[in-house]
Chains A and B, each alone.
Chain A
Amino acid sequence: MATQKIPAKRMKREEYRRNVQAQQESTDAVIKMPQKKFFRQRAHANPFSDHRLEYPLSPAHMDWSSHYPAFVDPDTSKTNLSGGRKLTKEVEVVDIGCGFGGLMVGLAPLLPDTLMVGMEIRTSVLEYLSSRIHALRSQQQRLKNKAANPSSTEPQDTSTQPESAESTAPAPANDDEIGTEKIFPGNFENITAIRSNTMKFLPNFFGHNQLSKIFICFPDPHFKARKHKARIVSESLNSEYAYVLRPGGLLYTITDVEEYHHWVLRHFLHGEQPEGAAPAPSSKDLFERVSEEELALDPCVRVMKYETEESKKVTRNKGNKYVAVFRRKADPEWPA
């Protein structure tokens, strides 16, 4: 890398990110929400390259304790294979390619007792989300302290209501600067973000039948036919999703690219067969599509459709959104 002049924009960005880092390390400061504009990154990553990824040797080696401090098992004798503290429950929701984390933040109050993780291959974006979650958590902590101690010195803020009962969209309109001034169920302690290439290493993080939900929201469409191998949905990858999903678990997909939607349907569902012919056995046998009526009742679909960054962008541009959700069926019987 050339060591000459660093562009001013990059200087500014780096300085900002250093400040965010420093802010997180100091405990007393009021943590501000990070701003996305300092964390922009090219929208594509090559899933076939090695990158410099960290991943556990196996799910039993994964140390989740730093990710979910509120869920660490109080029994210090319980440790996993790499010596980290165990959690009181397992992670069971994954957002593959979580981006800036709109889905995670939107889902966190809906499923406050469920541990969820967003996985993202791009470092800057991941750094943003980690800072965002950290800021949200500390903000919630501050609000909780205030609620518990109303006579504290801090003035203003009459709007703060503990445990709002309403179930509408919790994330504020502009998730960057403002943050939230409301206490949410779960206090965002149940979400985290990890850098990973799930196309290669998903089974390193999650065991057989561990997950109840997988989200694939607005995946990189890889328009060129030559790049289709890099798509996050394929029959062979679906086998891996089936491995980590429990029977009855759901795999959510949403995209604004109609062709990709059909690709998804094609790779999860058997097409029409010629008369009398049984479809060739494939990972399609392991999934069935969830009906529209059922989806209408699923709050996760609403979050996915309206609260992820990408969905907002699509709404702004008046694009279409195509949703398909699949339920993991039980494994077939072994052939006799």
Chain B
Amino acid sequence: MAGLQHPFQCLRYVNRQSAGQSDILIATAGRNLYSYDASSGQRLDLWPQPVDANVEDKSSDAAPASESQAPPEKRRKLSSTSEEQKGAKSESKPKDSNKEASNSWTNIPLVTVAHGKYVVIMTSEDKCVRVLSLDNEGKLQQLSARTMPKKLSALTLTPDENNILTGDKFGDVYTFPLIPSGEYVKVQAPAKSYEPSATNLTVHTKRNLESLEQQMRQAALSKTNQAERVVLNFEHQLIIGHVSLLTELISVTRPADNRVGKRNYILTADRDEHIRVSRGVPQAHVIEQFCFGHTSFVSSLSVPSFEPKVLISGGGDNYLLVWDWLENQILQKVQLPGSEGETTVRGIWDVSLAPTADNAEPVKAIFVALEGCVPITIDNIYNPPNIKSRSSQLLCYALESDNTITHQHTLQLSGNVLELVGIDSRGSILVAVDTLRQSDSTSAWKSSSQPPLESFRLSSGKWIPAEDSMVIKINSEGTTSLPTTIEQKEEKELNDSMYNLGNLRKRGDYDE
């Protein structure tokens, strides 16, 4: 395992034992999506396949499953694409589908799995939601690619797993079917000539009147209608909108109680400290509640599967809030290490594990990872300070019977925590750690890569490293390698794609 390798950015564990099949681990690293056999750790598939005919000096050999065959030139290719686009002057993008498939993204920040046989991903730069089939052998095949108007910050499914929910950086939440139903015919507005919405009744100043006149002339001149936009060219619905940057979106089902039946909700969080509780589809336009309590952006929401009445939220504050979310009631404010303006919650994960040999009791735990957050100011925009944080630690909490959480202990990992997933069947958790950056740093790189996965199990109240043949196998194979020489700019881009929560902080800019 020579050189630097991409860390795993997302992990999903696909439980298929009920269907009589072996479990599968889905992971993303760099621009690739991986599937692994969960018992052996054998890599089952790599998507997209690194065979790429139109890439120069790239040996398109036939050994797709072998490691480090992914195109290491992707950074260079990307920049050439952007040059091309610049050259093409932002008219409709060059639509060479082959090229697009190989060039247009560098990472896959969002993944979810539907029905155990579909993997839904968002590829970052091209803002594309792609649905892939996951077959019995773990092979991945793209079924559809739908381009969103803005980059997504959250991707999830409706409770029936038949519809995708997306939240984007413009604050909009869309829903659309997992499997597109038939041909989408865009509702074509009858072609009508352009008519400025301003009239000489509504604008009065000389300059405005002149520009109105000009608009009229222009309209008469160019009868051509605009090129059809490629985005949202599929059946979809806009269901929720924040006038803010949406940071998180989760879909929750509250089981029936003695008063009301089972109800679905959508919880959304934004950069303006809001947590909004809306009804589930198809009534997502009905807002039920706002949860007020954060004084900085909210980045993570978690409603534990084992206690759906409770919400744990975190963001740019140096505390977590535990909520009775339907009542806008704060049950607990949990102080986090670090001072205000420094601490950022990267992720909150709830894990419930079946009893194992070590543990007679089922495990119900909450894990929290922090991110070293560098506030961007004019002074450090090109040279962000290397702030030490606690991002290589994992804080473990237990949910008590009164719906508060208590800190159990803190796990130290070999690198920054990126993602966590619980593996119910073997009573362990799997943690993806950053292979590139030094522990507790978001910008300083290591000299050589480390294994991307770590595994822990609970033993007499303590999480201890677990021996797991799957993890050993995956770590030994590693992920895709980075090119041996990386320019500083590219390094920064890679850092920014992995650690970007600091940008959400408000800067208190000048006014008006």
Q: Which residues of A pack against B, CB within 8 Å?
A: 41, 45, 47-52, 57-58, 61, 122-123, 197, 199-201, 203-204, 208, 221, 223, 229, 234-240, 242-243, 256-260, 280-283, 285-286, 317-320, 331-332, 334-336
Evaluate whether A235 and B292 lie within 8 angstroms (CB atoms) in the complex, with A221-B202, A223-B197 already known. no
Contact of B243 with A203 in the complex, beta carbons under 8 Å: no
Contacts A/B (CB < 8 Å), 10 sampled? A51-B509, A200-B244, A236-B240, A238-B285, A240-B287, A242-B285, A257-B199, A317-B204, A319-B201, A334-B279
| Cβ contacts under 8 Å, A319 to chain B | 201-202
- Bound CA–CA A285/B283 (angstroms): 9
Contact of A203 with B274 in the complex, beta carbons under 8 Å: yes
Contact of A257 with B202 in the complex, beta carbons under 8 Å: yes
Q: Does B20 contact A (CB under 8 A)?
A: no
Q: Which of B474-512 contact A (CB under 8 A)?
A: 506-512
Q: Which 5 A-B pairs have CB atoms at the shortest separation, nearest pair first? A: A236-B241, A58-B292, A259-B197, A283-B285, A199-B243
- Bound CA–CA A119/B316 (angstroms): 28
The listed residue (B198, B237, B240, B272) touching A239 by CB distance below 8 A is B240
Among residues of A, the one whose C-beta sits closest to the C-beta of B271 is A50
- Bound CA–CA A52/B509 (angstroms): 7
Evaluate whether A334 and B263 lie within 8 angstroms (CB atoms) in the complex, with A235-B238, A236-B238, A257-B202 already known. yes
- Bound CA–CA A258/B201 (angstroms): 10
Contact of A257 with B197 in the complex, beta carbons under 8 Å: yes
Evaluate whether A123 and B243 lie within 8 angstroms (CB atoms) in the complex, with A50-B506, A223-B196, A334-B283 already known. no
- Bound CA–CA A320/B196 (angstroms): 16
Among residues of A, the one whose C-beta sits closest to the C-beta of B278 is A239
Q: Does B234 contact A (CB under 8 A)?
A: no
Most chain A CB atoms below 10 A, which of B238, B278, B511: B511
A66, chain B: closest CB distance, angstroms: 21
The listed residue (B240, B243, B295) touching A48 by CB distance below 8 A is B243
Evaluate whether A317 and B201 lie within 8 angstroms (CB atoms) in the complex, with A223-B196, A236-B240 already known. yes
B149, chain A: closest CB distance, angstroms: 10
| Cβ contacts under 8 Å, A61 to chain B | 292
Contact of B511 with A332 in the complex, beta carbons under 8 Å: no
| Cβ contacts under 8 Å, B282 to chain A | 281, 335
Determine the main DSSP class of A at the interface with B.
loop
Q: How many residues of B contact A (CB 8 A)?
A: 44
| Cβ contacts under 8 Å, B199 to chain A | 257-258
Q: Does B397 contact A (CB under 8 A)?
A: no
- Bound CA–CA A318/B200 (angstroms): 10
Contact of A286 with B286 in the complex, beta carbons under 8 Å: yes
- Bound CA–CA A123/B511 (angstroms): 9
B416, chain A: closest CB distance, angstroms: 28
- Bound CA–CA A48/B244 (angstroms): 7
B352, chain A: closest CB distance, angstroms: 27
B247, chain A: closest CB distance, angstroms: 14
Most chain B CB atoms below 10 A, which of A61, A123, A259, A280: A259
Contact of A52 with B508 in the complex, beta carbons under 8 Å: yes
Contact of A200 with B272 in the complex, beta carbons under 8 Å: yes
Q: Does B290 contact A (CB under 8 A)?
A: yes
The listed residue (A57, A123, A200, A331) touching B286 by CB distance below 8 A is A331
Q: Does B172 contact A (CB under 8 A)?
A: yes
| Cβ contacts under 8 Å, A240 to chain B | 287
> Can you name 19 extra interface pairs (CB under 8 A) apart from A41-B512, A199-B243?
A47-B243, A52-B511, A58-B328, A123-B511, A197-B243, A200-B244, A203-B290, A208-B289, A221-B202, A223-B196, A234-B241, A235-B238, A236-B171, A236-B240, A282-B239, A283-B285, A286-B286, A317-B204, A332-B286
- Bound CA–CA A335/B260 (angstroms): 11
Most chain A CB atoms below 10 A, which of B171, B260, B285: B285
| Cβ contacts under 8 Å, B328 to chain A | 58
Contact of B197 with A281 in the complex, beta carbons under 8 Å: no
Among residues of A, the one whose C-beta sits closest to the C-beta of B294 is A57
Contact of A200 with B204 in the complex, beta carbons under 8 Å: no
Among residues of B, the one whose C-beta sits closest to the C-beta of A285 is B285
Among residues of A, the one whose C-beta sits closest to the C-beta of B272 is A200
